């Protein structure tokens, strides 16, 4: 199956690589330009100690992480993967869901982020949590997976469709893939906050606000569910593998 990147808004074509700013201005509108992956990794290394602050700054809904993990419908003994596990803020919910007989894999390409996740694993003495530093597009799980979570990471990946294609291949039939992330709210509110949102993303998390993962998931399954929070600014999207 060939996965093709496509334009999601007028004047925006994804897949472009840049080492500079993550947008240009075209005809008075912002055009998002995906950044080089090494640039993104270095940015996240610098931000590793600030993730709780950004959760607050960006008005992340209360209980958002737990709700996303709940949508994976994991049970004791299951195998789960988080793509873009960062400092490990979703790991407690994933580890609790699969229990001591299950297994959690976490993948991230930021050494700074993973260093904090590994310290968390050591403090909690989680023997069933494995953390891997690599590009998620290259990751191959050692066993079929029951659930995969993109925890506030999908929109930051310039090659998100390639990563999604690889992740989908790791799921067993009936497995669930959940993407939790932020987007521009619909209507006039979204238009009003768009300049500030793009400006803020440029200087912080580098999340592309124009990406629509639910449309990407539709390439693989028609079993898609979408739940929105904070007036449509945050969402949890789930796809089930046939």
> Which carries the bigger pLDDT value, residue 163 or residue 206?
163
Per-residue pLDDT reduced to its tens digit, 32-79: 455 566 766 666 666 655 566 566 555 678 899 999 999 999 999 999
- The structural domains of the chain, with segments of one domain joined by +, span 32-240
pLDDT, residue 117, reads: 96
Q: Tell me, what's the pLDDT at 56?
A: 52
221 class by beta-carbon count within 10 Å (0-12 exposed, 13-18 middle, 19+ buried): middle
- Yes or no: say if 114 and 133 are a contact pair by the CB < 8 Å rule: yes
CA distances from 20 to 187, 203, 206, 230 (A): 30, 12, 12, 31
Q: Kindly tell me if the per-residue pLDDT of 21 is higher than 50.
A: no
Angle between helix axes 37-47 and 111-124 (nearest 10 degrees) is: 50
Q: What DSSP element (H or E) covers 226?
A: strand 224-229
pLDDT(14) > 80: no
Segment among 26-30, 77-81, 102-106, 116-120 with least mean pLDDT: 26-30
- What pLDDT sits at residue 229? 86
For 32-240, CATH gives 3.40.50.150
Q: Give percent of the chain above pLDDT 90.
A: 55
Position 62 scores a pLDDT of 83
- Mean pLDDT for the stretch of residues 22-29: 42
Residue 169 clears pLDDT 90, i.e. is over it: yes
Please state, in angstroms and rounded to a whole number, the distance separating the CA atoms of residues 6 and 218: 14
Confidence of residue 125 (pLDDT cuts 50, 70, 90): very high
């Amino acid at each position: 199956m060939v996965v093709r990147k496509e334009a999601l808004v007028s004047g925006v074509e994804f897949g472009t690589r840049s080492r500079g700013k993550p947008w240009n201005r075209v005809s008075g509108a912002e055009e998002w330009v995906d950044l080089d992956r090494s640039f993104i990794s270095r940015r996240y290394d610098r931000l590793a100690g600030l993730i709780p602050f950004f959760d607050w700054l960006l008005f992340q809904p209360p209980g958002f992480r737990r709700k996303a993990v709940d949508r994976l419908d994991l049970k004791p003994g299951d195998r789960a993967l988080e793509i873009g596990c960062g400092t490990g803020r979703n790991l407690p919910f994933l580890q609790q869901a699969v229990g001591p007989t299950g297994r959690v894999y976490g993948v991230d390409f930021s050494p700074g982020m993973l260093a904090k996740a590994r310290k968390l694993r050591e403090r909690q003495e989680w023997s069933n949590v494995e953390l891997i530093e690599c590009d998620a597009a290259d990751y191959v799980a050692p066993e079929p997976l029951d659930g995969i979570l993109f925890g506030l990471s999908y929109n930051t990946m310039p090659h998100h469709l390639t990563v999604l294609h690889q992740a989908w291949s790791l799921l067993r039939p009936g497995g669930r893939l959940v993407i939790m992330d932020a987007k521009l709210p619909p209507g006039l509110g979204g238009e009003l906050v768009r300049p500030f949102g793009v400006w803020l993303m440029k200087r912080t998390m580098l999340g592309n606000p124009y990406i629509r993962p639910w449309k990407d998931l539709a390439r693989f399954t028609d079993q898609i569910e979408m739940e929105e929070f904070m007036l449509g600014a945050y969402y949890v999207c789930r796809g089930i593998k046939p």
